[in-house]
């Protein structure tokens, strides 16, 4: 029996073409149905053309390709679903970083947690719940893989409110592991690790080469090789002081704690001269969005004329689907699941990022135990703020949203409670029309 994989938000073109390419490297999917769905017909047409090019280049003549703006049509009978949606465009999500900046909270990316991440979550959750409720009706046994941020809050809400087997994937786990291995010249096939925490704040609890702890070698490179230190200044400072390496980039992590972005001199010292997402630049994702808004069509046209690389990439999705309804090869990955006996010193039921085993039986999270106590302090704060935000989103309680943001480490390091309240009120006003569940529930004034 052939399988069907649906891509919801297929206009996220890089994800779509790379994940389809990966899927079709597995023989089990070379006679599958690929269903592309997006609400933007123009982006959908480009996605369809990109996948057609991959099918032609790989001689995957038995693949059935569908493209539709009808979500039900795409989901009906699917075995696997990949979700890469964005709710609201640049005109709304720029407020997520520009309003906090006016109050002194200098956000770099703003798609995961803190004031910007919370409001992106509030806008995105209703659409994601609708998608999962469609899955419950149309393909209840499907595995749903979410790539949409904010990962932890969305997965926590979806897993709590629906019966869908859904997990969230972030390439930072395998990407950072490859970076660390490269620093010490270790081939990835010789590397093993245990990584756990929450999305973007997971830590490698051990990192080994052929069974030997190589954290001492990584520490030496970070301390004594300027090129290595300068590649990820924020994360390297965290590693030197906290003793464990965190998964997500310096740009992201600079805004998840109180240490690097609360004063301009700290931003200059630790954030401005790194690489990647330019962690010193306020609102870099807004600038990236402006650029992509103007350039995506040109980039896609250029890609049409470029040769196709059919080599499988490092994203987890194709391996997970192959384990669950392909050839059945077991696959271990780090996924976002609720914490029921997985990490002892994080909140019960919160969304955690832990090792998960994919098999014919579905997705089975693996117990980790305790995080080191000092890491648990940092991660607990973020996880509990996320729990408050999820509860506020599901109940339409503006007060809980305010409190979730009030305890955000960077926000609370910069602002008073009264200032935070004013900022949250302004963010709600900027999002008026996107958050109807809050319209009749005014924030209680102090």
Task: Tell me whether residue 171 is one of the annotated catalytic residues.
Answer: yes
pLDDT band at 48 (very low <50, low <70, confident <90, very high): very high
pLDDT of residue 79: 98
Helices (H), 172-214: 172-183
pLDDT of residue 445: 38
Task: Please give the mean pLDDT across all residues of the chain.
Answer: 93
Query: Which token pair is 438?
Result: 């809050």
Q: Comparing 46 with 336, which gets the higher pLDDT? A: 336
Residue 438: exposure state from Cβ atoms within 10 A (0-12, 13-18, ≥19): buried
pLDDT of residue 278: 61
pLDDT tens, position by position, 299-313: 777 777 788 899 999
pLDDT of residue 352: 98
Q: Say which of 95, 171, 200, 252 is annotated catalytic.
A: 171
pLDDT band at 314 (very low <50, low <70, confident <90, very high): confident
pLDDT at 279 over 70: no
pLDDT at 444 over 70: no
pTM of this prediction? 0.94
pLDDT at 237 over 60: yes
pLDDT band at 446 (very low <50, low <70, confident <90, very high): very low
pLDDT band at 293 (very low <50, low <70, confident <90, very high): low
SS3 string of 278-322?
Answer: CCCCCCHHHHHHHHHHHHHHHHHHHHHHCCCCCCCCCCCHHHHHH
Sequence spans of domains, the chain = 4-93+107-168
pLDDT of residue 134: 98
Q: Is the peptide bond between 372 and the residue preceding it cis, with omega within 30 degrees of 0?
A: no
pLDDT at 221 over 60: yes
Of the listed ranges 146-155, 266-275, 409-418, the one predicted with least confidence: 266-275
Pick the CATH number of 4-93+107-168 from 3.40.50.720, 3.40.50.300, 3.30.1300.10, 3.40.190.10: 3.40.50.720
Q: Comparing 436 with 423, which gets the higher pLDDT? A: 423
pLDDT of residue 328: 97
pLDDT at 215 over 80: yes
pLDDT tens, position by position, 317-332: 999 999 999 999 999 9
Q: Which of 182, 124, 171 is nearest to 18 (CA)?
A: 171
pLDDT tens, position by position, 109-167: 899 999 999 999 999 999 999 999 999 999 999 999 999 999 999 999 999 999 999 99
pLDDT at 256 over 50: yes
- Kindly state the average pLDDT of the residues 17-32: 96
Q: What percent of the chain lies above the pLDDT cut of 90?
A: 83
- Kindly state the average pLDDT of the residues 347-359: 98
pLDDT at 441 over 60: no
pLDDT of residue 202: 98
**Could you tell me if 8 and 71 are in contact, meaning their C-beta atoms sit under 8 angstroms apart?**
yes
**Sign, CA torsion 166/171/176/179:** positive
- Kindly state the average pLDDT of the residues 340-365: 98
pLDDT of residue 307: 86
Q: Which of 92, 85, 75, 93 is nearest to 148 (CA)?
A: 85
């Amino acid at each position: 029996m052939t399988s069907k994989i649906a891509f919801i938000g297929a206009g996220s073109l890089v994800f779509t073409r790379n994940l389809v390419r990966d899927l079709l490297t597995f023989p089990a999917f070379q006679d599958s149905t690929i269903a592309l769905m997006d609400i933007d017909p123009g982006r959908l047409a480009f996605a369809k053309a990109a996948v057609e090019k991959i099918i032609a280049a790989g001689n995957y003549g038995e693949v059935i390709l569908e493209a539709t703006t009808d979500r039900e049509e795409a989901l009906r009978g699917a075995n696997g679903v990949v979700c890469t949606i964005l709710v609201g465009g640049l005109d709304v999500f720029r407020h997520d970083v520009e309003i906090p900046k006016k109050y002194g909270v200098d956000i770099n990316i703003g798609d995961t947690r803190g004031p910007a991440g919370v409001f992106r979550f509030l806008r995105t959750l209703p659409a994601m719940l609708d998608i999962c409720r469609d899955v419950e009706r149309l393909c209840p046994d499907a595995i749903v893989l979410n790539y949409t941020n904010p990962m932890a809050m969305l997965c926590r809400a979806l897993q709590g409110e629906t019966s869908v087997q859904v997990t969230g994937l972030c390439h930072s786990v395998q990407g950072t592991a490859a970076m660390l291995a490269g620093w010490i010249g270790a081939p990835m096939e010789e590397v093993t690790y245990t990584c756990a925490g929450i999305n973007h704040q997971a830590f490698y609890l051990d990192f080994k080469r052929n069974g030997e702890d190589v954290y001492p070698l990584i520490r030496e490179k970070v301390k004594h090789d300027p090129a290595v230190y300068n590649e990820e200044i924020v994360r390297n400072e965290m590693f030197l002081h906290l003793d464990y390496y965190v998964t997500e980039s310096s740009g992201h992590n600079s805004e998840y704690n109180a240490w690097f972005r609360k004063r301009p001199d700290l931003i200059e010292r630790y954030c401005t001269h790194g690489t990647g997402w330019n962690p010193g630049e306020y609102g870099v994702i807004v600038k990236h969005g402006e650029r992509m808004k103007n350039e995506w069509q040109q980039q896609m046209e250029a890609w049409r004329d470029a040769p196709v690389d059919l080599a499988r990439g490092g994203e987890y999705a194709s391996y997970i689907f192959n384990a669950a309804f392909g050839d059945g090869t077991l696959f271990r990955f780090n996924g976002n699941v609720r914490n029921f006996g997985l990490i002892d010193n994080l909140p019960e039921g919160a969304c955690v990022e832990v090792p998960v085993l994919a098999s014919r039986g579905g997705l089975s999270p693996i117990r980790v135990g305790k995080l080191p106590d000092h890491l648990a302090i940092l991660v607990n704060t973020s996880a509990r703020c996320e729990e408050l935000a999820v509860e506020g989103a599901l109940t339409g309680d503006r007060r809980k949203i305010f409190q979730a943001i009030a305890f955000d480490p960077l926000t609370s390091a910069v602002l008073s409670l009264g200032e935070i309240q004013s900022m949250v009120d302004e963010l709600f006003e900027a999002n008026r029309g996107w958050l109807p569940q809050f319209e009749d529930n005014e924030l209680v004034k102090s």
